[in-house]
Amino acid sequence: MIDRLRGKLVEKNATEVVVDCNGVGYFVNISLHTYAHLPEGEAITLYTHLQVREDAHILYGFIDKMERAVFRMLISVSGIGTNTARTMLSSLHPDQVKQAIATSDVATIQSVKGIGAKTAQRVILDLKDKILKVFDIDATSATQSNTSKEEALSALETLGYARKQAEKVVAAIVKNQPDAGVETLIKEALKKL
């Protein structure tokens, strides 16, 4: 199995790249998260996952091992294929995916195109314990920060802000200040909205 590729980035698109490794160009499928972190035309390292099917060998590349680990966990869930997992990692930051699973946040997972309520619940049911154990997330603090986030989002919606826009702003604040309370989240969000 190909674990990683190190070479020159010769072609870069939002969903795939070509990496030249000693004269061999590898076509690698990527997420938007990985795309955002790739430099132009420089030597890069991608951590890979090789999917072997009857009709194809498909290579998926990730900017770091953590994103690849989340991808592999996602595809282990019945009903989640490689394209759905890649869409999840393109729509949400890998940390958001981990947090949503750890806090049983069905709405966040369901916000990804192509994932319904049953699939979102299956992802949480199958992966919650693995996510908490592998990434050493404290379940009580994850639930507490999720509660603060939800309360802040509800307050912002009441004030007339669109949920999608508010979610992005609040998520950015939570990333910088993980232990921020509801008041702090609302005040900081109002400055940015």
Using an 8 Å Cβ cutoff, are 105 and 99 in contact?
yes
Tell me: pLDDT of 144 over 80: no
Residue with tokens 């604040």: 173
Q: Domains along the chain?
A: 4-62 (2.40.50.140), 66-134 (1.10.150.20), 139-192 (1.10.8.10)
- The β-bridge partners of 59 are 50
Q: What is the pTM of this model?
A: 0.73
Name the burial class of residue 173, with classes exposed (0-12), middle (13-18) and buried (19+) by CB atoms within 10 angstroms of its CB.
buried
Please tell me the predicted confidence (pLDDT) of residue 159. Answer: 83
**pLDDT tens digits for range 38-58:** 987 689 999 999 999 999 999
118-156 CB burial, b ≥16 within 10 A, e <16? ebbebbbebbbeebbeebebeeeebeebbebbeebbebb
Distance CA 141, CA 135 (A): 14
Radius of gyration, CA atoms only, the chain: 18
Please tell me the predicted confidence (pLDDT) of residue 60. Answer: 97
